[in-house]
Chains A and B, each alone.
Chain A
Amino acid sequence: MKIERVIFHRFFVPGLLGLIIVLLASLPLYYPSTYIFVLLTSIFMYIVLTVSWVIFSGPTGYISLASAAFFGVGIYMSAVFGKVISLPLVIGIGGLASFCLALLVGALTLRLRGIYFSIFTFGLVVLIQQLLLWWEVVQMHTRGRFVIVVNNTTIYYIMLIILVALMLTAYLIRRSKYGLALQSIGEDEEAAAHTGINVTALKIITFAISAFFTGAAGSIMATRWTYIDPYIAFNPLFSFLPVLMAIFGGMGHFFGPVLGAVIFGYLEEVLITKFPYYYMLIFGTILVIAILYLPGGVVGLIQKWRKGDLAEQHANP
């Protein structure tokens, strides 16, 4: 039994993940449909937003609502530099700009705890949005910007690369001593500091790493929208969605938030096409039910089923 589990974790899981990545990477060769690329890119975007949020907020319990700010910074970097430099560089700049913003904001606000931190991070989204709007309308007498057009396959591949890099980073952090330290900060920050952990530095750097991936995702998504303005780029929905998807999927397991984002992304697509008028209504109802009745998220439900099965097996040998 124990050996089976070790084999499962050592070989089966990484093997399956490798297979999925190979299948996704070779998809354009045997299934050249634009629709599937656009759909998968959206789902990848949701996964990136959710998992990068979970890297920091999951273990520490600091609920950040700044995702939309980092996403928007990425989007704007793409609009500003898209025509000037090559695409991979634009993505890097988008990520780096968000990284630096997170370092700055983190240094200022990570002393705040609980609701104060959440409110401040959300205020950041609105602040940047309104500042940009003021700058564009009052100073430049323009509104919004055009973004270079990139073909869907390229967007798909770049998003896939960002996703794989993020999952690898999240996994490495989680299994390192820093992952444990982040969790201890969530449990009791003061005790963590007295155990020798530099809690301030660890929080700020992890916050910035999480912002890097959100910003990079923003840079590439911008090319799909062709036109952006502060309201599109700094849409508060991108602050709330990662939190909702993570809770929906369940944060008790590494793949919970991924599952949440996949179901969410697909559901959104289906509902928008099938019920364009009732989409938000149905979406909201599903969310409320999930939060009320699935405290552990989808993953919690699956784990409960599996435990139930095991208990039955033991009861009737």
Chain B
Amino acid sequence: MRILEGERVTKHFGGLAAISNVDFHIDQGDIVGLIGPNGAGKTTLFNLISGALVLNSGVITFKGQRISGLKPHQICRTGVARTFQSVRVFANISVLGNVLLGSSFGTSTSMSSTDVKREATECLEFVGLSARRAIAAKDLTLANQKRLEVARALATKPELLLLDELIAGLNPTETAQAMELVSRIRDRGITILMIEHVMKAIMSICNQVIVLHHGEKIAEGTPQKIATSKTVVEVYLGK
């Protein structure tokens, strides 16, 4: 079943077409990789899906329901959560507070305060940050701040999670842990769309890959198919 679908999605910044006429779809339960050289429009596409930017033309639907045109908080409440390329945790709020915000204001807003707290605690346990719940988010390491961002997104109880460069800036051990976290999130039944530059990570974990270049979709398919695609190799390595 298609959980997210985009039709002729277009976004201009002045004269520059950051995304032009991109059609894409994501099947429920998949981990989909979104790759492409710098400036290809990957983060712009994330911003369009999550409502941070408004598209110039085209339609994005989530579970058959149109979400393009909705405000970011409304899109979050329909079940699409995201993280950011550069970590954006609430620095001076405690680790637990960060996650509590997700569980209080996410998809189910009418929970009792004990349920909200249980939900948040459970999410912190899931990403392995329970022991640090009381400290301010800014005092965490980069790897842990990224985990916290994931926990905050998970606390909103999404069905689709958008991960923007989860492993950028992490060392090999942290990267392996982050990849393991991603597959555990999928095992919970959450569909994942992830932007990543590290090919090894993409190839090992994704079922599907979408390749963007200069705002256009140039290829899509299984990792094996993408790795052998002539156009993709040309884009990355030159002719």
Give me the interface of A with B, judged by CB distance under 8 Å.
177, 180-181, 183-184, 187-188, 190-199
Contacts and interface: CB of A to CB of B under 8 A. Distances in A.
B221 interface: no
Contact of A196 (B76, B84, B88): B76
B92 A195 contact: no
A193 to B, nearest CB: 4
B127 to A, nearest CB: 16
B140 interface: no
B90 A196 contact: no
8 contacts: A177-B113, A177-B116, A180-B104, A188-B91, A190-B52, A196-B73, A196-B77, A196-B107
Contacts of B152: 195
A199 B52 CA distance: 13
A278 to B, nearest CB: 40
Interface of B: 50, 52, 71-73, 76-77, 81-82, 84, 88-93, 97, 100-102, 104-107, 109, 113, 116, 152-153, 156
A191 B100 contact: no
Contacts of A187: 90-93
Contacts of A188: 88, 90-91
Given A177-B100, A190-B52, A190-B88, A197 B93 contact: no
A88 B46 CA distance: 53
Given A183-B93, A184-B93, A187-B93, A197 B101 contact: yes
A146 B89 CA distance: 54
Contact of B106 (A183, A184, A195, A198): A195
Indicate the member of A177, A184, A191, A194 with the most B CB atoms within 10 Å: A194
A187 B107 CA distance: 22
Given A188-B90, A191-B84, 9 more contacts: A184-B90, A187-B91, A191-B90, A194-B72, A195-B106, A195-B152, A195-B153, A196-B73, A196-B102
Given A184-B90, A187-B92, A177 B76 contact: no
A180 B73 contact: no
B84 A199 contact: no
Closest A-B pairs by Cβ, 7 of them = A196-B105, A187-B90, A196-B76, A193-B72, A177-B104, A191-B88, A196-B106
Contacts of A180: 93, 97, 100-101, 104
A281 to B, nearest CB: 37
A199 B153 CA distance: 17
B73 A199 contact: yes
Nearest to A184: B90
A188 B88 CA distance: 7
Nearest to A187: B90
Contact of A193 (B73, B81, B91): B73
B156 A195 contact: yes
Contacts of A197: 73, 101, 105
Contacts of B102: 195-196
A199 B105 CA distance: 11
B101 A184 contact: yes
A61 to B, nearest CB: 11
Contacts of B91: 187-188
Contacts of A183: 90, 92-93
Contacts of B109: 196
Contact of B156 (A184, A196, A198, A199): A196
B28 to A, nearest CB: 21
A188 to B, nearest CB: 5
A200 to B, nearest CB: 8
B89 to A, nearest CB: 8
A196 B50 CA distance: 11
A192 B105 CA distance: 10
